[in-house]
Amino acid sequence: MSLRSQYCGQVTEAQMGQTVSLCGWVHRRRDHGGVIFIDLRDREGLVQVVCDPDRAAMFATAEGLRNEFCVQVQGLVRPRPAGTENEGMTSGKIEVLCHDITVLNASVTPPFQLDDDNLSETTRLTHRVLDLRRPQMQHNLKLRYRVAMAVRRFLDGQGFIDIETPMLTKSTPEGARDYLVPSRVHDGEFFALPQSPQLFKQMLMVAGFDRYYQITKCFRDEDLRADRQPEFTQIDCETSFLNEQEIRDLFETMIRGVFKDVLDIELATPYPVMTYAEAMARFGSDKPDLRVKMEFTELTDVMADVDFKVFSGPATTPGGRVVALRVPGGGEMSRSEIDAYTEFVKIYGAKGLAWIKVNDVSKGRDGLQSPIVKNLHDAAITAVLQRSGAQNGDLLFFGADKSKVVADAIGALRVKIGHSEFGKSHGLFENVWKPLWVVDFPMFEFDEDNQRWAAVHHPFTAPKDGHEELMDTAPEKCIAKAYDMVLNGWEIGGGSVRIHRAEVQSKVFSALKIGPDEARAKFGFLLDALQYGAPPHGGIAFGLDRIVTMMTGAQSIRDVIAFPKTQRAQCLLTNAPSPVDEKQLKELHIRLRNPQPVA
Amino acid sequence: MSLRSQYCGQVTEAQMGQTVSLCGWVHRRRDHGGVIFIDLRDREGLVQVVCDPDRAAMFATAEGLRNEFCVQVQGLVRPRPAGTENEGMTSGKIEVLCHDITVLNASVTPPFQLDDDNLSETTRLTHRVLDLRRPQMQHNLKLRYRVAMAVRRFLDGQGFIDIETPMLTKSTPEGARDYLVPSRVHDGEFFALPQSPQLFKQMLMVAGFDRYYQITKCFRDEDLRADRQPEFTQIDCETSFLNEQEIRDLFETMIRGVFKDVLDIELATPYPVMTYAEAMARFGSDKPDLRVKMEFTELTDVMADVDFKVFSGPATTPGGRVVALRVPGGGEMSRSEIDAYTEFVKIYGAKGLAWIKVNDVSKGRDGLQSPIVKNLHDAAITAVLQRSGAQNGDLLFFGADKSKVVADAIGALRVKIGHSEFGKSHGLFENVWKPLWVVDFPMFEFDEDNQRWAAVHHPFTAPKDGHEELMDTAPEKCIAKAYDMVLNGWEIGGGSVRIHRAEVQSKVFSALKIGPDEARAKFGFLLDALQYGAPPHGGIAFGLDRIVTMMTGAQSIRDVIAFPKTQRAQCLLTNAPSPVDEKQLKELHIRLRNPQPVA
């Protein structure tokens, strides 16, 4: 005899008049008019169980039940009394008249109520097992599974093969820090946990597997931010013989399908495509949030000769930039609101935040209210108003600094205002899903710290056709076949066409000042592989944690991971990491630098 | 324009008369009668491409092709000339008349021929990318994927949810050695890579997820044998509210479905079920290979008083055992064959291998040929002949020693003879798939080294109903709700019903001499979780690598893993593990015990 005939949350009118057997947890117990009502919970939801006192033994058991007891209930499905139906739940039209209860396992009193929404994260992660019983967490992890399975079904249908790549692999210290694993067999040597399967998936293409994917853990020992974890999950894909457009089309279709399957949402067909240059010009970001209905107005050219150093300085300095951000209706912002935004942009390195309120655009200079208007000549003012399309009642903010500072500060300001109550109430924010492709990334960016060119994507990214020569002559102009999928201001996936010719790969290493010996020591296996008829190939990797965080509307990536680490990289449930035995260290040929006193 | 219209290996008569565009590798080039024939290969197989000299530019390109060049071919599908069809290949009835060839990437001469079947493993693993191009390796990894996907489809249909558990977790030094990962943030502390997600999956059951699975990497830092890898892949499953029989039925159905889907093989319905005690009695193994048609004959009781110390000693010593193994037709074995088997059983600790040839069973003692017959009294000889069912021409081998030595030695001998040419030619080996369940394992075995009881399965396994008390009074009699799925002599999966009550779990820890403090330090999170209404639950884990090795008939587990480690736990392709920078060690608060001289 099975303990269970169906899930609690799935008992409906279809079982009316039948005897069912349910297993679950006491979510709530109410005693009302001599009758005991139990909300019985399992992963599929709640069902109301009614215990009448006329079955004395059963009723005595029911009286002993407390929250989170695990029980089996057998009973008759009957309609709820008229007026007590609950349209909000699947089982809301029925209740189960209890015939028998078996306590499968009692529970001590939980440290918190499952429906308490104000728990600290420390409490939740310490008592993660109970926290995971909360319907929201059940929903999040079930949705995560549905996303992963929708991805697998799609890729399976497209001929992609899941091939596992090693977790114990080689340390290549660049980019993020590696997690290292000492080797017992090889004294003084270490494995590294993979930051991504990048090189292995390329080798699988060279090996002729044609289409590969993997939903796999990657590891980065970085200081953690709200959206980072030491281990995170990547949907990692690679294909041979497709060009950039074909690759993008394929994975755009995949993500569109996932949103349709899991959330019944239709994403734009096709996604807008924007070059990196355009995204930076219009939004100051390579992952623009297109829900925000504001754009930059370029003013660098007209500010060169104004009598205002704050603008003319950056406008006449190479790498400097001046832009405006028009905030429709922003004229009603108070001085204190403007001051708060001025403080906000300082986080991004801006030294201040000039502004103009547009009272009456027809009056030109005289219709403007601002501390800076007097410093701008007529041509500048005309350009500001015409290019921005300013209307009466608008506010214009200005950024003037090095390009990067302007992009970061005014780009963040744009998003901040767009997401604010002001933005939402003034039509500056459209609450929809706004995917796009950002393409044509530069190959290289100059690394000021190390005074050399670094790869924007990674050193295995192919330059655009005809750009090979630029690697030597003008690296800053060299464009990569790289693309990011962006959704509502988040990069959810990034990829590129890879270099498939050994001589081009060597050229990139050379541009990055990675000498032949270093290249061979670190990537010899890749260079070797490219010599044996490597096919044209490319791919993409999606951040599963991030996609699911967005789809569930979770506050944190930690709400879509069953057993996450804290921001200090600890597991509060198991207390990992933890000290280990000296014997273990000895076997691994290592010792602590700062031996701990024995407890 | 796409580079490819279909896979090489999938061009058939259906495309007759059409122009196709194919991408692949030059598998072989033959020049014959002024025409060039190319076998073009991709992951789906080969197609024959014919290059006529009448297209001069194309022909010149074809003349320049060498093995493993990556090319695109456009051409017309036409019938092969009568008499040259190849029934063995999908594309065997057609050929492609080449119109155009583009070299996508040239290849230097490979270090070996892909169809060389005599490559050393070192060569293969060093040049793994080329090795993976071999059709057999392509087949193996594709089959592996199909197995994993069949598992996912089945479990999805049964309501199982894939939930990821941590890779960076807590070290619990027992069982196998952990791989450790030093923590940068927490000086002197370490993560461990999981030996299995056992505790996490149990916590997911306590959290109410009801049905969990994961196809995931597990790690054991053990000395490697032919079928072991430092990282291996487990199909890990757990369910709530099902009893042992229901769990076994479910996963038996899963594996039967996988064999049907992937190999079109029907496994027995239902599997035979055998207790541990019966398996040890009849086959000397808890994973008997039922393809071998020989069994043990129990003789301990009748050998107690024979005038032959070799038998009477073990027969009268507690924990000793005497058995015979009847080898039908074995009478024709030569003395040197018997001597070889005598050497063989010494590997397993046997001191010798007594034998009797049965020349004429009707003559009793006089019909037997053996150095030991004179030492056995009539009752013993009668028992030997009757119980074993000996026939004229048979050979009887004897094992007499401690039970474990007898089981290991005669169990291995049984398999050795069964798999030998002799066994196969004498009907002692049935070449079929023979699955079974082995159940009712003991809870505990005595660990002689540490002089205490140890868990046979793991300490979270539930005792059989009514056996809880035996944990204190007679641990050796306590039976567990543990089960192994065995196939052709391999354990392919193992699992158990778990303990879901904290007080039973404490009792087991106590029987294992794990004190309350140690239990709390190591497993406090599990004990805590069990207090909050943990549901009855149980599960199983399958070894994916091993299942795929068996299904492909591969020689080694390394042939079903894309990038395996050697038996010395090295990756010959990437040279992992490898030395790391002092800076990295410093950040991790560790140093080498034996610093290496700087190269």
Residue B599 has pLDDT above 60, yes or no: no
Distance CA A43, CA B204 (A): 11
Residue finishing a domain among B425, B456, B476: B425
pLDDT at B88: 86
* Pick from A244, A234, A329: nearest CA to A539: A244
Q: Which of B394, B425, B456 is the last residue of a domain?
A: B425
List pLDDT tens digits, range A368-392: 999 999 999 999 999 999 999 999 9
Look at residues A57, A80, A66 and name the one whose alpha carbon lies nearest to residue A31. Answer: A66
Q: Pick from A68, A170, A533: which is nearest to B578 by CB?
A: A170
User: Is there a single domain that holds both residue A494 and residue A468?
Assistant: yes
| Domain identity same for B149 and B266 | yes
Please give the model's pTM, rounded to 2 decimal places.
Answer: 0.96
CATH number of residue A346's parent domain: 3.30.1360.30
Residue B271: phi and psi, rounded to 5, are -65, 150
A-contacting residues in B 116-135 (Cβ below 8 Å): 127-130, 132-133
Residues of B in contact with A107 (CB under 8 A): 531-533
pLDDT at residue A174, rounded to an integer: 66
Domain count along chain A: 4
The alpha-carbon gap from B309 to the nearest alpha carbon of chain A, in Å, equals 45
> Is A382 within 8 Å of chain B by CB?
no
- Residue B339 burial by CB count (10 A; 0-12/13-18/19+): exposed, middle or buried? exposed
The interface predicted TM-score (ipTM) is 0.95
What pLDDT does A596 receive?
73
A343 is an annotated ligand-binding site residue: no
Is B573 within the bounds of a domain? no
Cβ atoms of residues A379 and A256 within 8 Å: no
* Residue A109 touches partner B, C-beta closer than 8 Å: no
pLDDT in tens, B324-347: 999 999 999 999 999 999 999 999
DSSP for A182-221 reads E-SSSTT-EEE--S-SHHHHHHHHHTT--EEEEEEEEE--
- Do A470 and A520 belong together in one domain? yes
pLDDT in tens, A120-172: 999 999 999 999 999 999 999 999 999 999 999 999 999 999 999 999 999 87
How confident is the model over A550-590, as pLDDT tens digits? 999 999 999 999 999 999 999 999 999 999 999 999 999 99
Q: Is the confidence at residue A598, as pLDDT, over 60? A: no
pLDDT number for residue B174: 66
Residue to mutate among A139, A172, A209, A229, with most B CBs inside 10 A, is A209
Neighbouring C-alpha atoms within 13 Å toward the C-beta of A503: 5
% of chain B residues with pLDDT over 70: 99
Q: What is the pLDDT of residue B103?
A: 98
C-alpha dist (Å) from residue A2 to A24, A72, A301, B209, B498: 14, 11, 78, 18, 17
The domain containing residue B18 runs over which residues? 8-105
Residue B542, burial from CB neighbour count under 10 angstroms (0-12, 13-18, 19+): buried
Q: What is the pLDDT of residue A576?
A: 95
Note whether A580 contacts B128, CB cutoff 8 Å.
no
Confidence of residue B223 (pLDDT cuts 50, 70, 90): confident
Of the residues B89, B105, B121, the one at which a domain ends = B105
**Cβ–Cβ < 8 Å for A511, A442:** no
Nearest to B571 among A70, A166, A243 (CB): A166
Enumerate the residues of chain A whose CB falls inside 8 A of the CB of residue B592. 187-188, 589-591
Once rounded to an integer, what is the mean pLDDT over residues A361-373? 94
Same domain, B308 and B393: yes
Instruction: Tell me which residue of A50, A52, A35 sits closest to A80, measured CA to CA.
Output: A50
Q: Which amino acid is at A111?
A: P
Beta strands in A43-165 (DSSP E): 45-51, 70-79, 94-105, 161-162
At A521 the pLDDT is 87
**A598 domain residue, yes or no:** no
The pLDDT assigned to B572 comes to 96
Confidence of residue B224 (pLDDT cuts 50, 70, 90): confident
Pair (A256, A171) in one structural domain: yes
Query: Rounded CA gap, A358 and B17, in Å?
Result: 71
* Amino acid at residue number B444: F
What pLDDT digit, counting tens, does each position of B492-524 carry? 999 999 999 999 999 999 999 889 998 888 889
A37: in domain: yes
Residues A171, A236, single domain; the answer is: yes
Task: Report the percent of chain A where pLDDT is more than 70.
Answer: 99
Residue A558 lies in a domain: yes
Contact list in A for residue B562 (CB cut-off 8 A) is: 163-165, 200, 204
What tens digit of pLDDT does each residue of B68-89 get?
999 999 999 999 999 999 988 8
Q: In this complex, is the C-beta atom of B254 within 8 Å of any C-beta atom belonging to chain A?
A: no
Q: Cα(A130)–Cα(A110) distance, rounded to whole angstroms?
A: 8
**Which of A21, A73, A105 to probe by mutation at the B interface, max B CB count within 10 Å?**
A105
Is residue B117 one of the residues assigned to a domain? no
Residue A596, domain member (yes or no)? no
Q: Which helix (H) or strand (E) holds B29?
A: strand B19-32
> CB of B432 within 8 Å of any CB in chain A?
no
B176 and chain A: CB distance < 8 Å anywhere?
no
Res A457: pLDDT:
87
CB A101 within 8 A of CB A58: yes
Residue B598 pLDDT > 60, yes or no?
no
* Pair (A471, A563) in one structural domain: no
Q: Do A150 and A47 belong to one domain?
A: no
Q: What is the pLDDT, as a whole number, of residue B341?
A: 98
Clarify whether residues A226 and A301 are in a common domain. no
Q: Range with the lowest mean pLDDT among A137-146, A465-474, B543-552?
A: A465-474
* One domain, residues A323 and A307: yes
**Does A452 lie in the same domain as A521?**
yes
DSSP B163: -
Instruction: Please check whether residue B78 is in contact with residue B69, taking contact to mean a CB–CB distance below 8 angstroms.
Output: no
Neighbours of A587 (CB within 10 A): 15
The CATH number given to whatever domain includes residue A449 is 3.30.930.10
Does the residue A585 lie in any domain? no
The torsion angle over the Cα atoms of residues A372, A378, A380 and A383, rounded to 10 degrees, is: 120
The better pLDDT of the pair B298, A447 is held by: B298
> What does pLDDT average to over chain B?
95
Q: Both tokens of residue A240?
A: 């041979």
Do A327 and A244 fall into the same domain? no
Rounded to a whole number of angstroms, the CA Rg of chain B reads 30
pLDDT score at A226: 66
Q: Do B171 and A580 touch (CB under 8 A)?
A: yes
**How high is the pLDDT of residue A173?**
65
Residue A221 counted as domain residue? yes
* Dist CA A550 CA A255 (whole Å): 13
pLDDT, tens only, A492-534: 999 999 999 999 999 999 999 888 998 888 889 999 999 999 9
Q: How far is CA A153 from the centre of its chain?
A: 22
Average pLDDT over residues B29-52: 96
Residue of A241, A245, A517 for testing the chain B interface, max B β-carbons within 10 Å: A241
